Amino acid sequence: MSKGLLRRFLSSGVKQGRLGVVFADGSAETFGESAEGFPEVVLRFTDGRVPRDIIMDPRLGAAEAFMDGRLVIESGDVMDLVTLLRANNAWDKGGDLGPPSFTRRILNKASFAAERVNNRISSKKNVAHHYDIGNGFYALMLDPEHWQYSCAYWPDGVETLEEAQTAKLAHIAAKLAIKPGNTVLDIGCGWGGMSIFLAKNYDVTVTGITLSEEQADLARQKVRDTGLADRVSIELVDYRDFAAAGRKFDRIVSVGMFEHVGQPQFDAFFEACGNLLTDDGTMLLHTIGRMGSPGSTDAFTRKYIFPGGYIPALSETVASSERFRLIATDVETLRLHYGKTLRCWYANCMANKDKMIAMYDERFFRMWTFYLAGAATVFEYGSMCNYQIQFARNRHALPITRGYIEAEEKRLLEKYHA
């Protein structure tokens, strides 16, 4: 029965491009037709349970079968496979990869509801699950200078990951409208790339906060190595506890952190930011976002990648910020930038496959590349994007037109490349 259901699922889901499947009993079938721009992939299932697992939950079932070596890609790679499926079911055209079974769907919703309460203890544990897997691992995947583990920015003429991440830092810095002597808070500072960039280019003092011990240790080392220890400090602290101390900052920046806050904590996050920001201050939030209405996190991502995470819709993000007198002064949607970024990370992982497997094992590597492939294609064909939302507490805090952003961004990049 499962084999027949999978055949119907793939027959309706793959029209362009070709997907060949060799079942565990030796039978084979091909779905779709060759089409320019669509991959051709051949799979082999090593046992008869694989069709059932995929039908129960296409994303989690396929991921775990691939991780365990029960779904073997004989022609193409995992990026090709996920691209083929997503490209045939683009969100923009009303497509869907197909819902999981009713039972699994109910279990997913129940699990998501139980996990999304992101208190201080679970928040630190969830961050460690993803970010404390080892700095050496991330060194093989990210851009070597800034160590940016978030969406890069790809204006015309930018070709490399390093250039795109520098462009992202400049783009965000320009939106902060920094003035000499400003104090800056970097919430979720990662390995310190944004904090260091701001301190290098402006007369400011920067405080970076994170919940990842490995990130904090390396960020502090990077700060010392760049000679900025007198102007950049890195603290291992939860944003809620940090806000309770009563400090104020002229500028707040948060890049790639809001996705980890958890839906029930949106109000707590924006209340903390409102309390931390001076009355004439400016904040820039850079986050993965969901196009369309609010949703839920899929089971694979919750289980293996970002436990406790949630991708917010723009509507619920802005609605929460409005409760704390934060004016959304500028909103930019980055539609395709993260797809390009993730494909660069995927290429780096493939180029360093042997080193990564030596650090962990082949199952981990397959899990990680499935995650990157799924993430890249959901930005290219699915419902995900990136939002950059600029906030102010005072309508007079910023220029009334956007020209200052482009001008400052140009200045920073010219200085960087000089």
Q: Could you list the pLDDT tens digit for every one of the 418 residues in the chain?
A: 689 999 999 999 999 999 999 999 999 999 999 999 999 999 999 999 999 999 999 999 999 999 999 999 999 999 999 999 999 999 988 875 554 444 444 444 444 455 555 665 556 566 655 656 789 999 999 999 999 999 999 999 999 999 999 999 999 999 999 999 999 999 999 999 999 999 999 999 999 999 999 999 999 999 999 999 999 999 999 999 999 999 999 999 999 999 999 999 999 999 999 999 999 999 999 999 999 999 988 999 999 998 888 999 999 999 999 999 999 999 999 999 999 999 999 999 999 999 999 999 999 999 999 999 999 999 999 999 999 999 999 999 999 999 999 999 999 999 998 8
Q: 331 and 240 in one domain? A: yes
Q: Which domain holds residue 288?
A: 119-417
Q: 259 and 381 in one domain? A: yes
Q: 168 and 73 in one domain? A: no
DSSP 265: G
| CATH code at position 18 | 3.30.1050
Residue 29 burial (CB count, 10 A)? 14
Q: 135 and 76 in one domain? A: no
Residue 113 falls within a domain, yes or no? Answer: no
Nearest CA among 144, 9, 67, 32 for reference residue 366: 67
Residue 107 falls within a domain, yes or no? Answer: no
Residue 300 falls within a domain, yes or no? Answer: yes
Domain end, chosen from 44, 65, 100, is at: 100
Given CA atoms 91, 127, 195, 392 in this order, what sign does their dihedral have?
Answer: positive
Res 133: pLDDT: 79
Q: 126 and 27 in one domain? A: no
Domain end, chosen from 68, 100, 132, is at: 100
Q: 133 and 62 in one domain? A: no
Tokens representing residue 60 in the block: 């989690």
Residue 110 falls within a domain, yes or no? Answer: no
Residue 56 burial (CB count, 10 A)? 17
Residue 337 falls within a domain, yes or no? Answer: yes
Q: 313 and 165 in one domain? A: yes
How many residues comprise the chain?
Answer: 418
Residue 108 falls within a domain, yes or no? Answer: no
Q: 144 and 48 in one domain? A: no
pTM: 0.92
For the range 5-11, what are the long-range contacts, defined as Cβ-Cβ under 8 Å and sequence gap of 24 or more? 5/51, 5/55, 6/51, 6/54, 6/55, 9/54, 9/55, 9/58, 9/98
Q: 67 and 20 in one domain? A: yes
The total number of structural domains in the chain stands at 2
Residue 160 falls within a domain, yes or no? Answer: yes
Domain end, chosen from 50, 72, 100, is at: 100
Q: Left if phi > 0, otherwise alpha if psi is -120 to 50, otherwise beta: which for 152?
A: beta
Q: 230 and 179 in one domain? A: yes
Contact between 204 and 183 under an 8 Å Cβ cutoff? The reply is yes
| CATH code at position 170 | 3.40.50.150
Q: 151 and 10 in one domain? A: no
DSSP structure string for 401-415: STHHHHHHHHHHHHH
**How far is the C-alpha of 267 from the C-alpha of 379, rounded, in Å?**
26
Q: 291 and 360 in one domain? A: yes
- The secondary element (H helix, E strand) that includes residue 107 is helix 102-115
Given CA atoms 187, 191, 194, 198 in this order, what sign does their dihedral have?
Answer: positive
